[in-house]
Structure 1
Amino acid sequence: MLKKVSLIGAPTDIGAGARGASMGPEAMRVANLGPILQGHGLEVLDRGNLIGPSNPWLPPTNGYRHLDEVVAWNQLVHDAVYTELSDGRMPILLGGDHCLGLGSISAVARHCREAGKKLRILWLDAHADFNTNELTPSGNIHGMPVACLCGHGPKELIEIGGQVPAINPKWVRQIGIRSVDPGEKKLVHEVGLEVYDMRYIDEMGMRHTMELALATMDVNTHLHVSFDVDFLDPDIAPGVGTTIPGGPTYREAQLCMEMIADTGRLASLDVMELNPALDVRNKTAMVAVDLIESLFGKSTLMRK
C-alpha cells in the first residue's frame, strides 16, 4: 500500500437528484480525515478542492441532466487523479456525487494500462449505477457511471481516459446492492457484472462475500475502492441523498474495510455521496472517516 496519500475535494452535486453532496469534502475534513490518516504513518497532502461549473439544476435533455457540466467535472477529476498516480501517490477523491467515479476510475484504468497492472474495482453502494439515458427514470448521471465506464453512455463521457470501454465489467465487484431499476437490472445481467447484493450478504455473510470479491488478486493488482456512503444502512449513515434501508451494519462495514486493508493492495479510493445537508451533527461524515481509517489499518489488535 502506498504511504503517500493525496486528498482531492470534488465539491459538486452535478449528477445527483438532491442538493448537498457538494459539501461532502468539507464535512470529511471537519471529521479530521487528514490528521487521522497521518496518525497511521501516512504522508497526507490535501490538494484542496477542484473548481468546476456550478449546478444549473435543470431538467434532463435526451435522458441526461447537466451532461456538459458532468463531463467538465469528470475531466477535472480524471486529470487530478491521474497526476497523483503518476507521481506515485494514492489519490483519495472526496465527493461529491458518484458520477465522479467515472473520472476517477477512468484515470486509474489509464494508469494501470500504462503501468502494466491488473485492476480490481470494489464498488460499495446501495445502487448498481448501471443506468443509461434510455433506462433512467430520472436522468441523474450519478446513476450511470459504471455503465459509462463499461462503454454504455454518451461519447463525451465514455472517452474520458482515452480508451473505450475504460474497463472490463469482469474487473468490478459490486457489494451491498439493494436498489436496481427494472431496465438497469436486465443490462447488469446481460454484461455479467459480479454483484453481491444484500440478499447474498444476508445468506452468506460479509466475510464470505469479501473473500470472493478479493479473490485472485496478486502483487501486480491495483485495487480501487469506490465507496458510496449510501452503501451503509441509513440508521448509521443518514447523511446521503438516496437512503435505502437494509444496508450493511456498522460491524459488517468494518469487516468489509478491514478485509480490504488486510490485502495490502489498496491503491486508490473514492468517498462519494456524503450529504451534510441531510445529516445529523456530521454523524455520517464521522462514520465514513472511521471506516476509511479501517481501510488504512485501524484494528482492535495487532493481527498476523
Structure 2
Amino acid sequence: MSNTSMGVSLIGVPTDVGAGVRGARMGPEALRVAGLALALQQSGLDVRDCGNIRGPANPWQEPVDGYRHLPEVAQWNELVHKVVHFELQSGRLPIMLGGDHCLGIGSISAVARHCRETGKKLRVLWLDAHADFNTAALTPSGNIHGMPVACLCGHGPRELVEIGGHVPAISPREIVQIGIRSVDAGEKRFVHEMGIEVFDMRFIDEMGIRHTMEMALDGLDANTHLHVSLDVDFLDPVIAPGVGTTVRGGPNYREAQLCMEMIADTGLLASLDIVELNPALDVRNQTAELAVDLVESLFGKSTLMRQVTDAT
C-alpha cells in the first residue's frame, strides 16, 4: 500500500482510568495541538480524525479485588475494540491516541481479531519502559495500565480477557517488547514463563538499536500485520518528560528515530497506539511534539541523505 492511497484514522481515547497518575486523558488533544494530522497529511496520507470516544469518567477509587476501576477499564476497552475493528474492516490504518496503556487491550484485541478474519499473521512491537505483564496477584497498586500484555495473553479478569471473543487474544509469540527497563520480580518470572521475546535496555546497550530492531522485525513478510504500541515512557525522560511513570535510561532521540525508520522500511505498519502521554507533566508540549516527530518517521519521513549503492 503506497502512502498516497493509505487511509489513516485518528481515534482519540481521553481516559487515564487505568493509570496511577491523572493527566493522560489530555493526551489526544496534546497530540492534535502538536500537529499530528497535518504532519501525516504532509506525508501524503489521507487522514481522518474520528474525534474522541466518549466513555465513563475516572472515579479515582482504591482497588477492588486487586483491580482499580475494572468496570470502567472494561467499558473503555470494549469501545476501543469496536472502533479500531471498524476502521480496520474499512481498510484504514487506525492510530489510537491515548489515554493510558490499559487501552492496548481493546486496540490489540481488535487487530488480532482482524488478523484472524483476514488470514494475516500478527506481529506486535510493544515499545515501553515496562513489560506491563502484571496480574492482580503480582501488583499491589491494582493499576490496570500495568496489566494489558498479561490480559491479551489470557491472564486477567474475564471482563478484559474476553474482549474480542477469542481467549487469549494473542499468542505470546506474536509480541516483541523493546526498551524494557522496569519490571517487578514476579512479573519478570511470568514473562519468562510465557516465553515473550524481550529486548531490554541492557540488550540495546550491548547490541545497539539497529541489531535489536533487525531481530525484532525478523520473519515479517507481506502477509504480516505489524502493530506498534508506543508507550511514550519508552523514550528517555530527558527528551520525553510528559509521562506519569518515567524511568531513566531509555532510548535517546536518534535511537528512537532509527527504531521508527526501520519499522517504516518494512512497509508493513498497519496499526498504531500512542499512549501514556501526560500533558500535565510535560514541558511546553515537547513530548507530544516529539511523538509527532517519531510518527512522521514511522510513516516514511527519513533523514537518510547518503545514496545507498548495491555492493554486488
Range into which the TM-score falls when normalised by the shorter chain: over 0.9
Matching of residue 269 in structure 1 with residue 272 in structure 2:
yes
Distance (whole Å) between structure 2 residues aligned to residue 301 and residue 240 of structure 1 = 30
Distance (whole Å) between structure 2 residues aligned to residue 282 and residue 12 of structure 1 = 18
2:56 is paired with a residue whose SS is coil
Give the equivalent residue in structure 1 for 2:178: 175
Deviations, residues 194-217 of structure 1 (Å, cap 9, x unaligned): 000000000000000000000000
Identity, % of aligned positions? 75
Relative to the length of structure 2, the TM-score reads 0.96
Matching of residue 130 in structure 1 with residue 133 in structure 2:
yes
Amino acid at match of 2:217: L
TM-fit CA distance, 1:182: 1.2
Distance (whole Å) between structure 2 residues aligned to residue 131 and residue 288 of structure 1 = 26
Deviations, residues 206-251 of structure 1 (Å, cap 9, x unaligned): 0000000000000000000000000000000000000000000000
Among candidates 8, 26, 38, match of residue 35 of structure 1: 38
Among candidates 13, 16, 21, match of residue 18 of structure 1: 21
Relative to the length of structure 1, the TM-score reads 0.99
Deviations, residues 100-148 of structure 1 (Å, cap 9, x unaligned): 0000000000000000000000000000000000001210000000000
Alignment of 1:47-62 (within 5 A): 47-62=50-65
Deviations, residues 29-55 of structure 1 (Å, cap 9, x unaligned): 000000000001000000000000000
Distance (whole Å) between structure 2 residues aligned to residue 203 and residue 137 of structure 1 = 33
Q: Give the 4+ runs in structure 1 shifted more than 4 A.
A: none
Give the equivalent residue in structure 1 for 2:241: 238
2:26 is paired with a residue whose SS is helix
Amino acid at match of 2:298: L
Q: Can you give the 5+ residue segments of structure 1 that lack an aligned partner in the other structure?
A: none
Deviations, residues 166-189 of structure 1 (Å, cap 9, x unaligned): 000001110000000111111001
Matching of residue 68 in structure 1 with residue 71 in structure 2:
yes
Among candidates 83, 88, 98, match of residue 85 of structure 1: 88
Q: Can you give the 5+ residue segments of structure 2 that lack an aligned partner in the other structure?
A: none
Among candidates 150, 156, 167, match of residue 153 of structure 1: 156
Distance (whole Å) between structure 2 residues aligned to residue 293 and residue 86 of structure 1 = 24
Distance (whole Å) between structure 2 residues aligned to residue 166 and residue 300 of structure 1 = 37
1:284 is paired with a residue whose SS is helix
Matching of residue 200 in structure 1 with residue 215 in structure 2:
no
Among candidates 98, 102, 107, match of residue 99 of structure 1: 102
Distance (whole Å) between structure 2 residues aligned to residue 73 and residue 128 of structure 1 = 21
Matching of residue 222 in structure 1 with residue 225 in structure 2:
yes
